[in-house]
Structure 1
Amino acid sequence: MPDEGYVALLHADGSELEQLCRLADSLRRQTVGDALTYVVNRNLDTAVVCGSAARERLGALVSEAHALGATEICMQGPLPADSDDDYLALIAAITETAPLHLHAFRPEELLDGAARRSMPLHEFLAQAKDSGLGSVPGTGARILDDDVRTRLKGGPDLPVSRWVEVIETAHRAGLTSTSTMVYGHVETPAHQVAHLRLLADIQDRTGGFTEFIAMPMVPVTAASSFLDPAVPEALWRRTRAVHAVARLLLHGRIDNIQAAWPRLGLAVAVALLRGGANDVGGLLLDGRLEPESGPEAGLSLTVADVERIAAELGRSLRRRTTGYGDA
């Protein structure tokens, strides 16, 4: 389908939207089957857990996550400018503590890590992988259009060409990544389609994306109301269309479409899982030791939660690794 056709689909409403979502869900079933997938992970904020004086505390947080059944530590955020820590040392400190997959550092943070060591990006990434880094978040993408990115940030942002270069360099270094889009702000449906098309092109070149995650530009849902928050009708319609179109446009390239429940709540996530998405993402374990050490503290699911979702959908449930293997 030409891109103009996908733009038209993003405007679908009423019976046309229902038909679009049914089509996307049928394609989901053909592509990845009926298993609902999830990963057991813990999120950590780099600025909260870094620092040579915090090593013992970091080790305790990682060990607790492993004891609770996590297979992944996700960490994002730059090292503070005055930190005495180092990205590579931080990676090693985590991966040497427990046999967990480390999914960490956005493109801007990878560039910061290379700059701090005065080395080319590809060398930094090779050393990061050797230190235990398993994959990187494809976040910071927002909308991959320089004008939109500048307007969103209120000033210069990492250029699209540079973001693409970092992600492709990471893929060539043997590090997979997620792919993302933040929607529902100043962009148009044409921008959304162009963004998806660029992700598809990157995947054709590298094959390094494991999943696609679309997130609306809304605050992370309050922990007290995430089970069934109020979602404006316009955002609800747009969200269903975006996920369905992503399934269609990315077909044959990125098989896994995630429903980002922390942004929209479980009720909306379940609807998206009926309209093209197949993955519910991570449980985001808080643990008992410093639960506030993660950027989404208070937003955590249990295995019972995802079992209930799978039952509601009439699907089997599969716990996965970061790379979508069986955990």
Structure 2
Amino acid sequence: MPPADLRGALRTAASDPDRLSDAQAQALLGADGPALDELCAIADAVRAQRAGGDVTYVVNRNLDVERVGAGTPGARARVRELAAEAQRLGATEVCAQGPLPPGAPADGYLDLVRDVAAGAPGIHLHAFRPAEVADAAQRRGGSPREFLEAARAAGLGSVPGTGARILDDDVRARLAGGPEMPVARWVELVTTAHEVGLTSTATMVHGHVEGPAHQVAHLRLLASIAERTGGFTEFIPMPFVPPPGAPLPAGCRPGPDAREVRAVVAVARLLLAGRVDHVQAAWPKLPEPLVLQVLAGGADDLGGLLLDGELDPAAGQERGLTMARADVERLAAALGRGVRRRTTRYGDADGPAGPAGPADPAAVPA
């Protein structure tokens, strides 16, 4: 039988998740065995209420900004071609991450926006992490707000809320091994994006030097931002994956185990309900059995298919890490749930997923 504090936390979670205290949320993060199964069932009921029964996904293509030379005069036509190819393959979203390459012009980030919009009219561009927003503003000699307003006018649709790691300055410095963007600056940049009309994702990297109290505080901060701005489309809990061959910081774990992954997804669903109603299963970082478990324990979305394309398969960091629609359908069927292809903002992506044959996202090999 679970300890009294955990039993009480489970009762509160089942009756009214909004009444969970920080101490109760931390207790839930430590759940294991039957108590963990009960927690996940509670979270899954909230998922059904807040996000519906379908497993959702978006057809997208990732571009690594520096790899494709985005923003530089010699690469602009290539960026347009890559965006056009993604749209032909059925993508409704292009995601661009990473800083401009050395020597790029001051308005290189805006040129990237313009090139994607020109190559794939109507496609949603999801680009520029807080670090890139700060870099763009500095290059242009203006404020982040001025850059974000200009980028939105040029065709930017949303920004990745990555770089959050854990929103605690001490944890961030320990994990990075030195100075890191302060939490207040990250919050400022993300909320500014929301204020100019851009949405963003919200993320948390867990399983390293942080503890349950840090995880709960991170989720509470995201919830407070969401209450103020309404700008988060989804929450993405990402397990920490150590860089190959790199030494771990002192006191750092090598990533979360399956128990922690399930608990974090479930608690995030409970603490963010009504504020951020979509929770993503980070399938590129999880084994398939665990993907199924988190989809049955609070998560509703699989994120993007990460199309490679044929023009330049190495243009994205996740080359070869592609999911097919058939895989989404298989996972959903195992849970007795339907499938819905969505837009970046969780609308319905109407129309066919792409032409028949190899260009159909359903036919792209995983």
Q: TM-score, normalised by structure 1?
A: 0.94
Whether the 8 Å CA contact 1:259–1:273 is kept in 2: the answer is yes
Note closer, same or farther for the CA distance 1:64–1:234 as it changes in structure 2 (3 Å cut).
closer
**What residue in structure 2 maps to residue 39 of structure 1?**
58
Structure 1 residue ranges, 4+ long, deviating more than 3 angstroms after superposition:
none
Instruction: Confirm or deny that 1:152 pairs with 2:171.
Output: no
User: What pairs up with 1:268-279 in 2 under 5 angstroms?
Assistant: 268-279=290-301
Deviations 1:217-257 (A, max 9, x none): 11699xxxxxxxxxx99610000000000000101100000
Deviations 1:109-131 (A, max 9, x none): 00110111111111111000001
Distance 2:243 2:179 in 1: 25
For the residue of structure 2 that corresponds to 1:102, the secondary structure is: strand
Whether the 8 Å CA contact 1:146–1:160 is kept in 2: the answer is yes
For the residue of structure 2 that corresponds to 1:142, the secondary structure is: coil
Distance 1:115 1:324 in 2: 32
Question: Which stretch shifts more, 50-59 or 158-167?
Answer: 50-59
**What residue in structure 2 maps to residue 225 of structure 1?**
none
Distance 2:149 2:98 in 1: 20
**What residue in structure 1 maps to residue 276 of structure 2?**
254
Instruction: Confirm or deny that 1:96 pairs with 2:118.
Output: yes
Distance 1:234 1:182 in 2: 10
Q: 1:190 aligns with which of 213, 218, 222?
A: 213
Matched to 1:126, the amino acid is: E
Instruction: Confirm or deny that 1:129 pairs with 2:145.
Output: no
Larger radius of gyration: 2
Distance 1:311 1:76 in 2: 32
Distance 1:260 1:184 in 2: 14
**What residue in structure 2 maps to residue 82 of structure 1?**
103
Which sections of structure 1, spanning at least 5 residues, go unmatched? 222-231
**What residue in structure 2 maps to residue 205 of structure 1?**
228
Shift of 1:313: 1.2
Instruction: Confirm or deny that 1:140 pairs with 2:159.
Output: no
For the residue of structure 2 that corresponds to 1:270, the secondary structure is: helix
For the residue of structure 1 that corresponds to 2:257, the secondary structure is: helix
Distance 1:255 1:92 in 2: 31
For the residue of structure 2 that corresponds to 1:91, the secondary structure is: helix
For the residue of structure 2 that corresponds to 1:103, the secondary structure is: strand
Q: What is the total number of aligned residue pairs between the two structures?
A: 317
Instruction: Confirm or deny that 1:106 pairs with 2:129.
Output: yes
Shift of 1:187: 0.1
Distance 1:239 1:317 in 2: 23
**What residue in structure 1 maps to residue 317 of structure 2?**
295
Whether the 8 Å CA contact 2:239–2:255 is kept in 1: the answer is no
Whether the 8 Å CA contact 2:266–2:298 is kept in 1: the answer is yes
User: What pairs up with 1:10-89 in 2 under 5 angstroms?
Assistant: 10-49=29-68, 50=70, 51-84=72-105, 86-89=108-111
**What residue in structure 2 maps to residue 224 of structure 1?**
none
For the residue of structure 1 that corresponds to 2:308, the secondary structure is: coil
Shift of 1:82: 2.4
Cα RMSD after superposing both structures: 1.5
**What residue in structure 2 maps to residue 236 of structure 1?**
258
Q: TM-score, normalised by structure 2?
A: 0.84
Aligned residues with identical type, % of pairs: 60
